[in-house]
Amino acid sequence: MSNTGDHAAEGSAEGLQVLQQARNSRLLGSLMLQLQKDYGRAGLDFPILEKYLLAEDVPEIFASLKEGVYRLLMEHFDQYLNLMYAVDLPERDFQGIDPGDAVEAAHQLTGLILKREWQKIQWRRNYPGSDPDQK
């Protein structure tokens, strides 16, 4: 497997783990706020229902994000690209994803998005006063 393919597989495997880690660290709300912020920067509605957020329902949160990414890939590719830019997901991370299977691509991309957003949360915790979103 190529290095870019490795990035895609990592993203897929880590998505649910990131959500679980955020919940266990009592930072799921912070992670969701970061996602909401970046969706807003991309001009998109946040795809997660409040009831899933309040219940901290990790599988439903992941499924909602994945469904939103899938719709963007299939119906609004320009908005998908805006989201990737807003999240600041390095192109090398999603280059190895096979677009031939949109469901699997959405699964992998959702994992990569969550991983990147979690990095931003960790950055802010480790380096107070800094903001990785400032370019």
Please count the other Cβ atoms lying within 10 Å of the Cβ belonging to residue 73: 18
pLDDT value for 106 = 93
Higher pLDDT, 132 or 89: 89
What is the number of alpha carbons within 13 Å of residue 3 lying toward its C-beta? 2
**pLDDT tens for residues 5-15?**
454 455 556 88
Higher pLDDT, 95 or 34: 34
Q: pTM of the entire structure? A: 0.83
pLDDT value for 94 = 78
How much is the average pLDDT of 112-129? 88
pLDDT value for 90 = 87
